[in-house]
Amino acid sequence: MTPPGIEVSGLAVRYGDVPAVQDVSFSVARGELVTLLGPSGCGKTTTLRAIAGLEQPSGGAIRLHGRSVFDAGAGRNVPTEQRGVSMVFQSYAIWPHMTVAENVGYGLRVRRLAREEITRSVDHALGLVQMRDYAARPASRLSGGQQQRVAVARAIAFSPDVLLFDEPLSNLDAKLRAEMRVELRELQQRLNITSLYVTHDQEEALAISDRVIVMQGGRIEQIGAPEEVYNRPGSRFVAEFVGSANLIHGRLLAPAGGTVSFEVAEGSVLELCPNRQPRGDETIVALRSAYIALAPAGAASGANTLRGRIHRRMFHGDFIQYVVACPAGTLIVRRPPTELFAEGADVTASFAPEHCVLL
Amino acid sequence: MLYPVAFLLEESFNVGDPQQFPAAEFGLDNYRAIADDLHVLGNTAEVAAIATVLAVLFGFSLAWILTRTSIPGRALLERLMELPYYMTPLVGALAWGILAGPKTGFINQVGHLLGLSGDLVNIYTPFGIGWVMALFEGTVAFVIIGAAMKSMDPSLEEGARVLGAGKLRTIFTVTLPMVAPGVLSAAVFVFAEMLGAFAAAFVLGIPGRFFVITTAIWEATLSYPPDYGRAAALGLSLFAVMLVTLGISRRITRRGSFATISGKAFRPRPIDMGRGGGWLLLVVCWTYIAVSVVLPLAALLLTSFQRFATVVLSQSQFTLDNYATALQMGTLGLAFRNSLLLGFCVATIGMLLTFTLVWIVYRSRTPGRGAFEYIGMFPQAVPRLVFGLGLLWAWINIPIPIYGTLWLLGIAYVTVFLPLGMRTLAGVMLQVDASLEECAKVCGAGWLRRMRTVTLPLLRPGLAAAWLLLFIASVRELGVSIFLMGPNSKVIAPAIVNSWLSSSSELSAAMALLQTATVFAAMLILFAAVRRVSGERA
């Protein structure tokens, strides 16, 4: 069996006495794109930089394509320049004193390739990011989006084993960011390059990744495919950080038959189908705003319906966000802009048992 | 650095034979003797206080005019405000001595011509000394206060206006409290600098036997028999006071940093002064330039071409002899050449050293790298003169025969100018994002290649600026050199002082102008280089 592209086990990084990353273990298969997602200060960038060798971990081990590049136990620490990784920086790190072609060819020149080969590879890499026409231009005269493309071209030009992205799109405006997202994903799949991607933008993480690793406070909260992380958040933090979720407080009733019942504060009972055996002490159910249906009061009844009144309606364009006051608490509900309810209207909110996630 | 200070400490407690090393007897007599020098301390405080008040006044008005009002030619004026700093207080003091000395000063000569019997002005007074110091330190106050004013987010003031406060109310309730820490910190900083200032007090105080601490130290050392103990005790006391004052200044800056939260440079919306007001403020600015730069230089220029300094042109005899003497007279020409040689070497070595230090502090992962910063910045707290004194003893007592050679001066200069170089380079280093270097690392480049292809090229403008600043500082250095120069290692600034004390003001003027010209030439290159590079980037 071939070893994975990136293998991190028990990684710990400390800044002085402050632990920045603790006990982080995961692996990235060859050709896979995995995202480290979390709020600022959660240790995602530190983890990425430790893999690149730009931070010195205090414990754990890192293997790239089966080769050990860091091992605290064995005292092994391969310097960055010998790790065969490549990286796209948040600031792009385009050298302003070189031309576009010189920037892209840097890694090839360092590897002492023949002149013709450098020219060919630079041309190929610039072609992949549609920047071929800019090769001779000084790098200081590029727009943000162009710098971004050059940074990507430079990172892939010397065919690295592993590609690291440190919030590469966070400095672009929203529209360009959405475009580059698609391009980066296509490029990564075309080159089939093992990639680790850091972002704080949950939408971006869900959109481009094969798997998402949610981090908080220097630790991993959950690892899973984007749909899994969204539909089945493993913790309250994940439920709140990824997507929009309602947290409903209550208590578990004694299990009866195949379903699990959850009693909400004012007495309504929700039915759930958890994907794991409940512990029994759970007090929160997470419910995605997008998975709640609204109907005029009295129209629907049955399991998993809550009566309420539209307290506030906010038109967001792609969806309408309702704040629904229910006896059990306030629900945030997102509906398509076609489903219009007036503020103050009485409604019934309903949702499927499989969308109620016990935390 | 620590070594000379330790020597000073030992010497200050030496009550035995002052010429004996290591000291045979120890005691506090030298410190007790300071009590006899109380008038010196009083003089120092008086001069420093006058200078501080004036300098902050100059600095504040100029900073307010140039950052907050809409007068024509602001950009040019801001540039010109730096000139007095490059003029150096020594040259300024000489020039003002010529301008406003009793009887023979140009201003008084004009007064006599107009039929006044007494002298209009006399620069050889505490106020005169303070005036000259303030003229040249005003620039420093201007820079500090100006930075505080510039970094103030205009929306803070706009917020007050929107809430209904008038122009004046806004100034008193928002603007002044925001700028106050900057002004206070400038005042304390200037005061500390003035305590350790030497040149003006020397040129204008010695003839009237008016001593401040620094000149008293100089006198104690050069009198016969030399009273090293007294000099050391005075020097260390000065060092202690300066350290405390600079510490206060730092604390104020740190605590009051609410004016600079975002670190962004704002250009606050200028206040429209109307036509008349604008012209008035413009006149204020140009008067400062005139009084601190144009007038002194003109006086020096006139004097340097004359056989006897006079403002009455019909009586004057013009000559080029002073320049010929300055360049040819064995020791003087030598001093000039030595200064240039030292400037080149010190600038080159200092630049490399500070680059290494700055890189270690900001880019490497060496343990304890923060300590390097403190070591590098430490010389700033030690008055130059006191440091020169310490080095003098330190090297006299070391069997390496470099006392009285240019080597010793070179070592002293590099040490003393380390903070200057480090501050300059650190500023540039911080502007160059660390990821630029990291990216080269990720691309597979080793340390040498990273330095050669990325770090050094990116820092080139900063390195050039550091080199020129070190060069300028070396050429005009006085405090350290006055103790360390030997008969074969004369340098220009002390040579000017000696010629002022012993011979003619005409010759001194010529030498001072030559020095100033060198400094200005270096400065012009500096500006041109900076402009070219920033133009490239833009």
**In this predicted structure, what is the pLDDT of residue A88?**
93
- Which of A146-155, A260-269, B96-105, B510-519 holds the top average pLDDT? A146-155
> Chain A residues with CB inside 8 Å of B461's CB?
none
Q: Which domain holds residue B422?
A: 2-260+272-534
Residue type, B457: P
Q: Is residue B267 part of a domain?
A: no
The per-residue pLDDT for range B67-82, each reduced to its tens digit, is 777 777 777 887 788 7
Check pLDDT > 50 for residue B21: no
pLDDT band for position A61 (50/70/90)?
A: very high
> Chain B residues with CB inside 8 Å of A79's CB?
441
Check pLDDT > 50 for residue B108: yes
Q: Which residue of B has its CA nearest to A157?
A: B443
Residue burial A147-183, b: 16+ Cβ < 10 Å; e: rest: bbbbbbbbbbbbebbbbbbbbbbeebeeeebeebbee
pLDDT band for position B272 (50/70/90)?
A: low
Check pLDDT > 80 for residue A83: yes
With a pLDDT cut of 90, the percent of chain A lying above it is 56
Average pLDDT, chain A: 89
State mean pLDDT over B413-423. Answer: 81
**In this predicted structure, what is the pLDDT of residue A220?**
95
pLDDT band for position B317 (50/70/90)?
A: low
Q: Which H or E run includes B533? A: helix B505-537
Check pLDDT > 60 for residue B422: yes
Residues B47 and B201: beta-carbon distance below 8 Å: yes
pLDDT band for position B257 (50/70/90)?
A: very low
pLDDT band for position B83 (50/70/90)?
A: confident
B209 touching A (Cβ < 8 Å): no
**In this predicted structure, what is the pLDDT of residue B24?**
47
B366 touching A (Cβ < 8 Å): no
> Chain B residues with CB inside 8 Å of A97's CB?
457-458
Q: Is residue B265 part of a domain?
A: no
A107 touching B (Cβ < 8 Å): yes
Q: Which residue of B has its CA nearest to A81?
A: B444
A91 touching B (Cβ < 8 Å): yes
A149 touching B (Cβ < 8 Å): no
* Integer Cα distance of B497 and B518 in angstroms: 17
Residues A271 and A303: beta-carbon distance below 8 Å: yes
Nearest C-alpha of chain B: how many angstroms from A304? 50
The per-residue pLDDT for range B34-50, each reduced to its tens digit, is 666 677 888 888 888 99
Beta bridge partners of B121: none
Check pLDDT > 70 for residue B270: no
* Burial class for B294, CB neighbours closer than 10 Å (0-12, 13-18, 19+): middle
* Integer Cα distance of B146 and B260 in angstroms: 12
Q: Which residue of A has its CA nearest to B433?
A: A93
- If contacts are CB pairs under 8 Å, which of residues 28-67 in chain B contact chain A? none
Residue burial B429-459, b: 16+ Cβ < 10 Å; e: rest: beebeebbbbbbbbbbbeeebbbebbbeebb
- Which of A56-60, B262-266, B303-307, B520-524 holds the top average pLDDT? A56-60
Structure tokens at B363: 């880019």
Q: Which residues contact B485 (CB under 8 A, 6 or more apart)?
A: B404, B409, B491, B494
State mean pLDDT over B480-503. Answer: 76
Q: Which residue of B has its CA nearest to A108?
A: B443
**In this predicted structure, what is the pLDDT of residue A253?**
81
State mean pLDDT over A299-325. Answer: 86
B537 touching A (Cβ < 8 Å): yes
Q: Is residue B465 part of a domain?
A: yes
Check pLDDT > 60 for residue B25: no
State mean pLDDT over A82-90. Answer: 90
- Choose, out of B439, B452, B458, B536, the residue to mutate when testing the contact with A (most A CBs < 10 Å): B439
Q: Which residues contact A23 (CB under 8 A, 6 or more apart)?
A: A10, A11, A12, A60, A219
Q: Which residues contact B15 (CB under 8 A, 6 or more apart)?
A: B23, B25, B26, B27, B29, B30, B229
B446 touching A (Cβ < 8 Å): yes
| CB contact (8 A) between residue A96 and residue B446 | no
The per-residue pLDDT for range A163-184, each reduced to its tens digit, is 999 999 988 888 888 889 999 9
Q: Nearest-CA neighbor of A180 among A206, A208, A209, A143?
A: A208
Instruction: Report the sign of the C-alpha dihedral through residues B126, B127, B133, B137, in that order.
Output: positive
> Chain B residues with CB inside 8 Å of A81's CB?
441-446
Q: Nearest-CA neighbor of B478 among B271, B169, B215?
A: B215
Average pLDDT, chain B: 75
**In this predicted structure, what is the pLDDT of residue A324?**
94
> Chain B residues with CB inside 8 Å of A78's CB?
none
* A244 vs A299, more confident: A244
CA-based max dimension of chain B: 81
A89 touching B (Cβ < 8 Å): yes
Asked whether the bond before B379 is cis by omega within 30 degrees of 0, the reply is: no
Based on C-alpha coordinates, what's the Rg of chain B? 25
Structure tokens at B126: 């505490």
* Integer Cα distance of B355 and B362 in angstroms: 10
Check pLDDT > 50 for residue B261: no
B442 touching A (Cβ < 8 Å): yes
Nearest C-alpha of chain A: how many angstroms from B365? 9
**In this predicted structure, what is the pLDDT of residue B264?**
41
**In this predicted structure, what is the pLDDT of residue A145?**
87
**In this predicted structure, what is the pLDDT of residue A144?**
85
CATH number, domain at B47?
A: 1.10.3720.10
Residues A179 and A146: beta-carbon distance below 8 Å: no
Q: Which of B435, B445, B449 sits opposite A89 (nearest CB)?
A: B435
| Range from B98-107, B272-281, B286-295, B442-451 carrying the lowest mean pLDDT | B272-281
Q: How many CB pairs under 8 A join A and B?
A: 63
Q: Is residue B486 part of a domain?
A: yes
A165 touching B (Cβ < 8 Å): no
Q: What is the tally of structural domains in chain B?
A: 1
Structure tokens at B204: 């204008």
User: Is the predicted ipTM greater than 0.95, yes or no?
Assistant: no
The per-residue pLDDT for range A116-140, each reduced to its tens digit, is 999 999 999 999 998 999 999 988 8
| CB contact (8 A) between residue B436 and residue A93 | yes
Instruction: Report the sign of the C-alpha dihedral through residues A13, A18, A24, A30, in that order.
Output: negative
Q: Is residue B157 part of a domain?
A: yes
- Choose, out of A46, A58, A106, the residue to mutate when testing the contact with B (most B CBs < 10 Å): A106
**In this predicted structure, what is the pLDDT of residue B428?**
75
A86 touching B (Cβ < 8 Å): yes
* Integer Cα distance of B450 and B303 in angstroms: 54
A269 touching B (Cβ < 8 Å): no
> Chain B residues with CB inside 8 Å of A52's CB?
438, 442
A140 touching B (Cβ < 8 Å): yes
Q: Which of B365, B444, B537 sits opposite A107 (nearest CB)?
A: B444
The per-residue pLDDT for range A66-76, each reduced to its tens digit, is 999 999 989 89
With a pLDDT cut of 70, the percent of chain A lying above it is 97
Tell me if residue B399 falls in helix, strand or coil: coil
Q: Is residue B133 part of a domain?
A: yes
The per-residue pLDDT for range A247-298, each reduced to its tens digit, is 988 888 876 666 788 888 777 788 887 767 777 777 888 999 999 999 888 7
pLDDT band for position B302 (50/70/90)?
A: confident
A87 touching B (Cβ < 8 Å): yes
pLDDT band for position B475 (50/70/90)?
A: confident
Q: Which residue of A has its CA nearest to B461?
A: A97
A93 touching B (Cβ < 8 Å): yes
* Integer Cα distance of B296 and B176 in angstroms: 34
**In this predicted structure, what is the pLDDT of residue A63?**
95
B440 touching A (Cβ < 8 Å): yes
* A130 vs B299, more confident: A130
> Chain A residues with CB inside 8 Å of B453's CB?
106
Residues A245 and A288: beta-carbon distance below 8 Å: yes
Q: Which of B433, B442, B453 sits opposite A80 (nearest CB)?
A: B442
| CB contact (8 A) between residue B438 and residue A80 | yes
- Which of A25-34, A342-351, B329-338 holds the top average pLDDT? A25-34
> Chain B residues with CB inside 8 Å of A55's CB?
none
Q: Is residue B191 part of a domain?
A: yes
Whether the model pTM is above 0.95: no
Per the listing, tokens 């005036």 go with B131
With a pLDDT cut of 90, the percent of chain B lying above it is 1
**In this predicted structure, what is the pLDDT of residue B99?**
81
pLDDT band for position A307 (50/70/90)?
A: confident
The single-letter DSSP state of residue A133 is G
| CB contact (8 A) between residue A111 and residue B444 | yes
Q: Which of B435, B449, B457 sits opposite A93 (nearest CB)?
A: B435
The per-residue pLDDT for range B326-373, each reduced to its tens digit, is 666 656 677 778 888 888 899 999 999 888 888 888 787 777 776 776
Structure tokens at B378: 């430490």
* B218 vs B535, more confident: B218
Tally DSSP H helices, then E strands, for chain B: 27, 0
